[in-house]
C-alpha cells in the first residue's frame, strides 16, 4: 500500500475526530503534526523489536588506529547508531572473526587497551553526549588493530525523518496501522486536552498494533553451553 506522510497524518486525525472524512487541515497544522510524527518515529527504534532487521555497514580499519567516529560526518559516514548489536572483522582471506560487544566498564578495565596490538577481539561503542552539534558516536577496538581488516557491524538506527508532507511512506504495510493509531494517541491531547483520557478503543488498537510488530520481529536466541571439557560431565558433583 502506497501512502504519503499527509495521508497517515490525516488518518490519525480522523481517528481522534480532529477532522471529518475528506477534510484537509491547514498546512501549518499538518506541519505541526509532521513534527509529532517524526518525534514518535525517532523514539520507536529504542525498542529493539520495532525493527524488522538491523542495519549493516562496513569499514576498512587503519593499522594502529583503535577508535573511529561514526555518524553522518564521522569516519564511518552513516547515520549514528542507537546501539551496535553485533560486529566482526573480516580478514584478507575472507575469514570472519567475531567481536565481543563490551560495556564501558569492561573497556576501561582492559589493561593495555591502547598499547597492546593484534587482531581486536572486542568492541565498545560510545554513542556520545546527548546534545551534540553533529550527532557522532565512537567505536573503540581492543586491542589496537595490527591488520587492515574490514570491520562489519550490525546496528540499531533511528528511522529516517520525513521532510515533507508529500513524501511517500515506504514502511511495510504492517507498520502503517501501528503508526496510524500511535500517532493518534500522541495527537489526542493536542486536540482534546490532557484532562480527557484517550478512548480505550484507540489506546487498545495502538498497543495491539505495536505488540503484533514486536511478536513478528522477535527472535528466539540460540542456547549456548559454556562447558569446555569433552569428558562426561556430572551435573551433581561438578
CA dist 156 → 97, 133, 204 (Å): 21, 21, 27
- 3-class secondary structure, 204: helix
DSSP tally for the chain: helices H, then strands E: 5, 11
What is the overall mean pLDDT for the chain? 88
- What percentage of the chain reaches a pLDDT higher than 70? 86
Q: What is the mean pLDDT of residues 133-154?
A: 96
Within 10 angstroms of residue 179's Cβ, the number of other Cβ atoms is 24
User: What's the pLDDT score for residue 170?
Assistant: 84
- The CA-based angle 34-168-158, given to 5 degrees, is 60
pTM tops 0.85: no
Q: What's the pLDDT band for 211 if we cut at 50, 70, 90?
A: confident
**Sign of the C-alpha dihedral, residues 12, 14, 19, 25?**
positive
Place of cell 553522518: 72
Per-residue pLDDT tens digits for 182-198: 999 999 999 999 999 99
Cα 127 off chain centre by:
12
Amino acid at each position: 500500500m502506497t501512502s504519503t506522510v499527509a495521508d497517515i497524518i490525516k488518518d490519525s486525525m480522523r481517528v481522534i475526530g480532529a477532522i471529518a472524512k475528506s477534510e484537509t487541515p491547514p498546512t501549518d497544522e499538518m506541519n505541526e503534526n509532521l513534527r509529532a510524527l517524526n518525534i514518535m518515529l525517532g523514539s520507536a527504534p529504542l525498542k529493539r523489536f520495532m525493527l524488522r532487521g538491523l542495519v549493516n555497514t562496513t569499514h576498512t580499519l587503519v593499522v594502529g588506529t583503535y577508535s573511529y567516529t561514526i555518524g553522518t560526518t564521522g569516519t564511518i559516514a552513516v547515520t549514528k547508531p542507537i546501539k551496535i548489536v553485533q560486529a566482526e572483522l573480516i580478514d584478507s582471506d575472507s575469514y570472519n572473526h567475531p567481536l565481543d560487544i563490551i560495556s564501558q566498564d569492561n573497556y576501561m578495565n582492559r589493561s593495555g587497551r591502547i598499547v597492546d596490538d593484534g587482531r581486536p577481539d572486542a568492541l565498545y561503542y560510545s554513542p556520545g553526549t546527548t546534545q551534540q552539534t553533529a550527532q557522532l558516536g565512537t567505536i573503540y577496538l581492543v586491542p589496537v588493530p595490527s591488520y587492515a581488516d574490514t570491520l562489519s557491524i550490525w546496528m540499531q538506527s533511528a528511522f529516517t525523518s520525513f521532510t515533507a508532507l508529500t513524501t511517500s511512506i515506504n514502511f511495510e504495510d504492517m507498520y502503517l496501522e501501528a503508526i496510524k493509531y500511535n500517532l493518534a494517541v500522541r495527537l489526542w491531547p493536542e486536540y482534546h486536552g490532557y484532562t480527557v483520557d484517550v478512548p480505550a478503543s484507540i489506546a487498545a488498537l495502538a498497543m495491539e498494533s505495536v505488540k503484533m510488530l514486536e511478536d513478528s520481529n522477535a527472535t528466539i536466541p540460540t542456547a549456548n553451553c559454556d562447558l569446555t571439557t569433552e569428558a562426561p560431565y556430572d551435573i551433581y558433583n561438578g
